[in-house]
Structure 1
Amino acid sequence: MAFGKEFADWGDWAWISGGVAQLLVVGALEFVEKRRRDREHHEADRLRVAMKDALQPLTQRIASMPGMNKQQRGSQLTCVAEQATAAIKQLLANVDRLRVVVYEVVDDSSGLMKMMSYSGRGGPPPAPFVPGTLRGDLAIKMVREHGTKVTPDVDREPPQNYDGSKKGYETFISTSISDGVDAYGMLTVDAPNAGDLVDTDKQIVMLVADLLAIAFAERQR
């Protein structure tokens, strides 16, 4: 079509308008994709900083244990457990009224577990997991099998044979503190609002549990 030629009908205008619209759509999609990549990059950077801030004090405490005697390692393990609960609170700061508990196996033969460290919302102290009770037996079995349990909504999707206390929480993640051979205890996080803890949070909880397992093994050395 020569420059300056009158359009025979609206078809030419429609063709041009359609082409411009397509270019605008493509440009908008490219802009959105760039913003998404920028946000993801920013979020990844933010997460790396948060992970370093939260986990560096924990790893430093663990790294100091090999140079200690047995009594000192026992005391340091308590500090490590306290630092672990604080680290998870920091990494899952977006979860409202989060509670974090480290349980220790205090009797290898029966599997009895008692609270070692606690951080989060107030209330009665977490009860021990006692063998011979449904609640205790299920938790002890999971720990001995080096398992992990993620429950976004206790009411809608309770774990099989679940008999937890449900005292003030509607969602939880529990994972064994183990090195693949020995089981030392359990790390749990819970929150009062269903859906606040999701499967992706599991990776953070499991990572901290793995670090705790190193400290427990070092204590027993």
Structure 2
Amino acid sequence: MSFRVLGVMVFTWLGVVTDRRMWVAPVAGLAASVAAAILLDDPTLARVIWAVIVLVLCALPGIAASWWRRKEEDQNGNALVDAYQQLHESLTPLATAGAELTQGGADEAAFAMLCQHAASSCAHFVSADKVRAMVFAVDDGGETMTCFARDGRLGNSEGFDRISRRGKAAFKSLEDGHRISVTSISDAKAARRGAWSGTGEGYEAFITSPIAVGATGYGLLTVDAPDKHAFTSTDEVYVDLVAAMLGTAFAARERWAAGPERTGHGQGDVEEASSDGVPEDR
């Protein structure tokens, strides 16, 4: 290892320590003042030289901290630019496809491709590892939700129905119109007895966002991961955005299929839904 690399490593370490421990720089400044006063009390050439050396050494923590902060800001700025670029690349095709569906005629193949792109974008954009993303669609009778598109690990979910407890909870989450984010199924079980009737096999954390336009619910967009606390708040917002875009596409598809007389799937009647409205196990 060269002296230059070693010097950069030491300087970086000093910058991080000084930046995170606010007392280092003031203590170094105080030490510099005391040392300079002692050394320059009876100034000689040697004492002046030592005073200069001590002052430079005591100034290094502040200089290193300032350099580290600028470096960190540059890195954060570059990371933000990269994130915006990924967001643009992920959402633009989805938005374009949705606009084409609303403007064009019936195209089931294009609709299926859009749903698949939505699942794939969630599976690859979110920060968690080993993600599974699924698009659930309410059937024509409004009694079941089946997996229409998926991407990631594991296979398809068995879906939901209005008869089972977990199915009632899933439909209630769609009707409530709010995202549900569970950071740990195990913790949820411990905190709310009876909140989960299944095992949650294959996943430990998930995000579920309703696919809806106004009061009309069309399905759910879910993303799950095998690790606790796998998702960030940014992941939650992203899933919400994709679900909102899917809502527009589902509404266009409904117009193709049934014409203007159709008003929705009738998501208003749910019997004995789970009190917490959480879809327990997919």
| TM-score bin (small chain) | 0.7 to 0.9
Q: Which residue does the alignment assign to 2:162? A: 131
Q: In 1, distance between residues paired with 2:75 and 2:215? A: 41
TM-aligned CA distance change 1:147 to 1:162, over 3 Å: farther
User: 155-164 vs 99-108, which deviates more?
Assistant: 155-164
* Contact in 2 for aligned 1:177/1:187 (Cα 8 Å): yes
1:76 aligned residue (91, 99, 110) = 110
TM-aligned CA distance change 1:30 to 1:157, over 3 Å: farther
TM-aligned CA distance change 1:23 to 1:148, over 3 Å: same
Sequence identity (%): 24
TM-aligned CA distance change 1:121 to 1:23, over 3 Å: same
Letter in 2 for 1:202: E
Q: In 2, distance between residues paired with 1:207 and 1:4? A: 66
Deviations 1:159-210 (A, max 9, x none): 8523355121111111111123211100001111222223331011111111
2:101 aligned residue (44, 58, 65) = 65
Letter in 2 for 1:206: D
* Contact in 2 for aligned 1:168/1:192 (Cα 8 Å): yes
Deviations 1:113-142 (A, max 9, x none): 11110111134x211111121110111101
TM-aligned CA distance change 1:118 to 1:13, over 3 Å: same
- Unaligned 5+ segments in structure 2 are 1-36, 256-282
Question: Does structure 1 residue 144 correspond to structure 2 residue 175?
Answer: yes
Q: Cα RMSD between the aligned structures?
A: 2.9
User: 19-28 vs 77-86, which deviates more?
Assistant: 19-28
What's the secondary structure of 1:194's corresponding residue? coil
Question: Does structure 1 residue 185 correspond to structure 2 residue 219?
Answer: yes
TM-aligned CA distance change 1:155 to 1:17, over 3 Å: farther
Structure 1 residue 16: Cα displacement: 7.7
TM-aligned CA distance change 1:176 to 1:26, over 3 Å: same
User: 188-197 vs 140-149, which deviates more?
Assistant: 188-197
* Contact in 2 for aligned 1:171/1:193 (Cα 8 Å): yes
What's the secondary structure of 1:155's corresponding residue? helix
* Contact in 1 for aligned 2:123/2:223 (Cα 8 Å): no
Question: Does structure 1 residue 115 correspond to structure 2 residue 147?
Answer: yes
* Contact in 1 for aligned 2:154/2:202 (Cα 8 Å): no
Q: In 1, distance between residues paired with 2:90 and 2:235? A: 15
Q: In 1, distance between residues paired with 2:152 and 2:88? A: 21
- Unaligned 5+ segments in structure 1 are none
Q: In 1, distance between residues paired with 2:187 and 2:53? A: 52
2:73 aligned residue (14, 25, 37) = 37
TM-aligned CA distance change 1:22 to 1:201, over 3 Å: farther
Structure 1 residue 146: Cα displacement: 0.6
* Contact in 2 for aligned 1:152/1:198 (Cα 8 Å): no
What's the secondary structure of 1:189's corresponding residue? strand
Q: In 2, distance between residues paired with 1:5 and 1:191? A: 67
